[in-house]
Every structure is written in C-alpha cells, then in structure tokens.
Chain A
Amino acid sequence: DTGVSQDPRHKITKRGQNVTFRCDPISEHNRLYWYRQTLGQGPEFLTYFQNEAQLEKSRLLSDRFSAERPKGSFSTLEIQRTEQGDSAMYLCASSPGQANEKLFFGSGTQLSVL
C-alpha cells in the first residue's frame, strides 16, 4: 500500500512562469484535498474534490490557481503567472470519503518563486 504521493518534491521557478503539481492519492480514496502552508503557519485549505467533482474552493484562491481531478484519481494543481507570494509548501491529502474521517497527507511540494 502506497501513501499519498506528490510530485515534484521541490520546484523553483521565476516570477511569471506557470507551474503544475501532481498528487496521487491512496487508491480508492474518494476525497482529495489541497492545502498551502507557509513557514511557521498551519495548513490553509485551498480546495477539495469528491471523486472528479470539485466541491469547494477557498475564497482566498485567486483565479491564477486551478485544480483538476479528471478521472477521480490523481489531481493536478496549476498556478499561472506565479508571484513571490505563492512561495509555500503545497500539501495534498486524501480520505476514504466517509464523514468525519481523518486525512492522509503527502510529503508536499515546496515551491520557491524567485
């Protein structure tokens, strides 16, 4: 059994470039979540999917951010026209889809925007 996998582990990009991250959840987990975490802070909710449907998106998420989960399995998070303020750890988590259950997190993608 593999856990939640995120790729890449680290990404360095120049301001204005587009970046895409991938998350592979635990197989058969219906729910998939994206969080963002900056140094010294707790994870901040970005969005979540139930199978392929994106059911909630944070109001803090600008139009430059988009997430997809086309077949209800892996998910991608794209950031367009990156800004220095986008530098953070992007965490993906999955859960079986039952109410009130715990989340299983990946190791995250550390983004640095220069």
Chain B
Amino acid sequence: SQQGEEDPQALSIQEGENATMNCSYKTSINNLQWYRQNSGRGLVHLILIRSNEREKHSGRLRVTLDTSKKSSSLLITASRAADTASYFCALRGGAQKLVFGQGTRLTINP
C-alpha cells in the first residue's frame, strides 16, 4: 500500500512548545505533502517536499524527508492554540492521486 503511517496518532502539548509528527511509508514517491484539517472542515495544504529534497521550511513549519528510511517529519515550532488540528501526510507516487495517512491529532493546551 502507498499509504503513509503517521506517528503519534495523538499529541498533546503546551502552548509554546514544539510539536513533531512523523510519517513512514513503504513505496517510492515523487513527493510528500503535509495537510492540516480543523474539525469538520476541509484540508489545507501546508508544505510539499520533493523526493530529491531533504528539508523545507515555511514559517514555523519544518519538514524533513529521508528517502533511504522512507520517512518524513513535520515540526511545528512555538506552537499556538490555533495549531490545534489534525495533520496528514500525503504521498504522490507514479499515479496522479494523492494518498493520505490516518493523521496525527494535535492538541495545544493554553
């Protein structure tokens, strides 16, 4: 299966702390993307990292990709209450569809 597996399934931290989520996969990919979903809403794209890239930054977000280990991590620094959401990694292989993992539910406590 191309689906990514995310770890942890749930994460609860204090506001201001950093949050790290991981995604592991088994097949080759063209790129890996991270999305955020607030409860009952659609998904919002956060960042895309291509298979030939190792690290990307966007604001308080940092994504790494290790193709030899078939894993990626999403780091959110200086977390805020508004970061409370579910975070999904999504894989794009040779096909056009994007395959999503089961997500990490992040809760930021004030």
Contacts and interface: CB of A to CB of B under 8 A. Distances in A.
Contacts of A4: 42
Contacts of B103: 41-42
A43 B89 CA distance: 11
Interface stretch (A62-70, A75-83, A100-108): A100-108
A106 B41 CA distance: 8
A31 interface: yes
- Which of the four size classes fits the interface of chain A? 20 to 34
A100 B91 CA distance: 10
Interface string A65-102: 00000000000000000000000010101000001101
A55 interface: yes
Interface in B31-49: 31, 33, 35, 40-45, 48
Interface string A1-15: 000100000000000
Contact of B42 (A40, A55, A108): A108
Contacts of B102: 40-42
Interface of A: 4, 31, 33, 35, 40-45, 48, 50, 55-56, 89, 91, 93, 99-100, 102-108, 110
